[in-house]
Amino acid sequence: MIPFLDMKSVYTELKPELDAAYARVMESGWFVLGKEVEAFEQEYAAFCGTRHCVGLGNGLEALELTLRAWNIGPGDEVIVPSNTYIATWLAVTASGATVVPVEPTPAGPNIDPDRIAAAITPRTRAIMPVHLYGEPADMDAVMRLADKHGLKVVEDVAQAQGAKVRGRRTGSLGHAGAHSFFPTKNIGAFGDGGAVTTDDAAVADRLRTMRNYGSKVKYVNIERGYNSRLDELHAAFLRVRLRKLDEWNERRRAVAARYADRLAGIAGLGLPRVPQWAEPVWHLYVVRTPRRTGLMEALNAEGIGSLIHYPIPPHRQQAYADLGLPEGAYPLAEDLANTVLSLPMGPHVALDSVDEIAAAVRRYMLRSGAE
Ligand SMILES: *Cc1c(COP(=O)(O)O)cnc(C)c1O
C-alpha cells in the first residue's frame, strides 16, 4: 500500500523537537500572540528574504486581509488565475472586490502573463498569481506588468514555501506573499495557520492591527478588525518545521526527479515542465492524461493512492453560479480539471515506491493505449 499522503511520518521524524516545543508553550502559560509567534515571524521573514512577516489564522485570511490592508474592495478588480484552488477567488470576493480570471500558460498550470495585459482595466487594483503545485508562476513578467500599470501584487504562496525564481524565494517577489500552514502544505502546522511576508512596513503594521480586533493597544480599537492570529503552539511547531523545510523540499525534488526519469516517454501521459528560471518545491506531482479515470482505478487496484487537484475550476462551482460563467468560459482551466492527476508526493515517499508507482502507471497506459 502506498498512501497518497503520509502525515504521520512528520511527527515520527520530528517527535523530540515537537514534544519539546509543546512542553515549552504549555509550561509558559501564554497561548496567543507571544514570544513563539514573534520568533517564528522573524525566522520566516529571514527564510523568505523579506523584512516583515505577520502570523495569521490561515492562508485564506492572509490573502483577504492583504487586499483589505491595501483598501481594495467593492468596485475594484483583482486578476486571479482561472486555474487555482477556490481559496484564491474566495479571498477576493470576501474583500468585496471582483475576480477577473486569467487562463494559464499552455504548458500550465500557472497564470499566463501574456493574457494578463488584456484583462487590465481602469478598475484593476491588484494581481494575485498562484504558485500552484509548488511550481513558481512567471513573477518577472507579472511584476513588469504590475509596475507598468501601477498594480499591487500578492503572491499566493500556499503551495510553494521555499520555491525560488532566479534564486529569490516566493513570498518575496511581489509586494506581499500570503502563506498557508495547513497541515498538508510544505511547511504545515498541526491545525490551521497562515502568514503574510512583505517588505512594506505599513502593510505589516496594518495587518498586525487587523488580526487583533483592529487594536494595537489593549481595548483601544482604531479600526473594525478581525480575529486572525497564528497561535503560539502552532508557531512553536512551525519553528521546528522551518528548520527542516529546505531539506524536506530537497527530498521532494529527489522524488520528482525520479518520477520524471521513470515516467519519461509514456504515450498519452503529460509530465510537469519546469521553466529554466524556476526552482519548484513539488507540493504536488501532477501528471496529465485524458485516460485519468482508468488510471486512477488501476492505481487504486494496486493500493496506490492518487487525488485530483482540482476536479472543478472555481468558475464552474455553485459558489460562483451568480457570476454566470458558462462551461467553456475558461477552456484551459477546464481541460486541466478534466485531465490532471496527483501522484503520491512528499518528503517521506521512498524512491522505491516511486519506481513501483511509475511501473503501475506505465502498465496501465500501455494496456489502455493498445485498446
Ligand atoms: C491551501 C491553499 C489556500 C488556503 O489556505 P488555508 O490555510 O487552507 O486557508 C489558498 N490558496 C491555495 C492555492 C491553497 O492551496
In the chain the domains, ranked by start, together with CATH numbers, are: 8-103+110-242 (3.40.640.10), 245-370 (3.90.1150.10)
What residues have CB less than 8 Å from 207, skipping those under 6 apart?
54, 56, 65, 66, 69, 196
The amino acid at 309? H
Q: Judging by DSSP bridges, how do beta strands 152-156 and 176-180 pair with one another?
A: parallel
Ligand 1 atom index nearest CA of 193 = 7
**Cell numbers of 217, please?**
493597544
How many Cβ atoms from other residues are within 10 Å of residue 43's Cβ?
16
What residues have CB less than 8 Å from 247, skipping those under 6 apart?
347
Tens-digit pLDDT profile for the chain (371 aa)?
Answer: 999 999 999 999 999 999 999 999 999 999 999 999 999 999 999 999 999 999 999 999 999 999 999 999 999 999 999 999 999 999 999 999 999 999 999 998 999 999 999 999 999 999 999 999 999 999 999 999 999 999 999 999 999 999 999 999 999 999 999 999 999 999 999 999 999 999 999 999 999 999 999 999 999 999 999 999 999 999 999 999 999 999 999 999 999 999 999 999 999 999 999 999 999 999 999 999 999 999 999 999 999 999 999 999 999 999 999 999 999 999 999 999 999 999 999 999 999 999 999 999 999 999 998 77
Identify the bridge partners of residue 278 per DSSP, sorted by sequence position: 165
For residue 180 and ligand 1, the question of a CB distance below 6 A is answered with: yes
For residue 190 and ligand 1, the question of a CB distance below 6 A is answered with: no
Ligand 1 atom index nearest CA of 185 = 1
Identify the bridge partners of residue 32 per DSSP, sorted by sequence position: 231
For residue 130 and ligand 1, the question of a CB distance below 6 A is answered with: yes
**CB half-sphere exposure, 73, CA atoms < 13 A:** 5
Residue 265 CA to ligand 1 centre (angstroms): 33
* CA–CA gap between residue 1 and residue 307 (Å, rounded): 15
Mutate to test the pocket of ligand 1, among 93, 156, 184, 336 (most ligand atoms within 8 A of CB): 156
Vertex 211, ends 206 and 216: CA angle to 5°?
Answer: 60
Ligand 1 atom index nearest CA of 62 = 9
**Cell numbers of 189, please?**
502546522
Q: Can you list the alpha helix ranges (DSSP code H) found in the chain?
A: 8-28, 35-48, 59-69, 87-94, 113-119, 139-149, 201-210, 232-262, 292-301, 331-339, 351-370
How many Cβ atoms from other residues are within 10 Å of residue 259's Cβ?
25
Ramachandran angles phi, psi of 216, nearest 5°: -105, -40
Strands (E), 181-232: 194-198, 215-217, 220-221
User: Given the C-alpha cell 482505478, which residue does it identify?
Assistant: 297
The amino acid at 33? L
Ligand 1 atom index nearest CA of 180 = 7
Residue 185 CA to ligand 1 centre (angstroms): 9
For residue 158 and ligand 1, the question of a CB distance below 6 A is answered with: yes
For residue 204 and ligand 1, the question of a CB distance below 6 A is answered with: no
* CA–CA gap between residue 155 and residue 158 (Å, rounded): 9
Residue bearing the CA closest to ligand 1, atom 6: 59
**Cell numbers of 79, please?**
486578476
How many Cβ atoms from other residues are within 10 Å of residue 367's Cβ?
11
Identify the bridge partners of residue 285 per DSSP, sorted by sequence position: 343
For residue 82 and ligand 1, the question of a CB distance below 6 A is answered with: no
Please give the model's pTM, rounded to 2 decimal places: 0.97
Ramachandran angles phi, psi of 342, nearest 5°: -95, 125
For residue 88 and ligand 1, the question of a CB distance below 6 A is answered with: yes
Ligand 1 atom index nearest CA of 60 = 9
